């Protein structure tokens, strides 16, 4: 059984962009990890923000 702290979703946008300069290789990518704790934190932050 998966606990609430272990539930997560990983969002990857496209393939990583790789730029090769011969000597130097640069890789760009974006990965977003969403967990139950982060969702709860955002909801609590929005509720607090409304009352400030």
**For range 7-15, the mean pLDDT:** 60
Share of the chain above pLDDT 70, in %: 71
Cα–Cα distance, 18 to 22 (Å, whole number): 12
Please tell me the pTM assigned to this model.
0.48
Burial of 50 (0-12, 13-18, 19+ CB in 10 A): exposed
- The per-residue pLDDT for range 33-50, each reduced to its tens digit, is 888 888 899 999 999 999
For residue 1, what pLDDT band results from cuts at 50, 70 and 90?
A: very low
For residue 22, what pLDDT band results from cuts at 50, 70 and 90?
A: confident
Identify whether the C-beta of residue 12 lies closer than 8 Å to the C-beta of residue 28.
no
């Amino acid at each position: 059984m998966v606990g609430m702290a272990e539930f997560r979703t990983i969002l990857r946008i496209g393939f990583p962009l790789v730029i090769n300069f011969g000597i130097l290789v640069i890789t760009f990518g974006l990965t977003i990890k969403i967990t139950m704790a982060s969702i709860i934190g955002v909801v609590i932050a929005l509720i607090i923000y409304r009352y400030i």
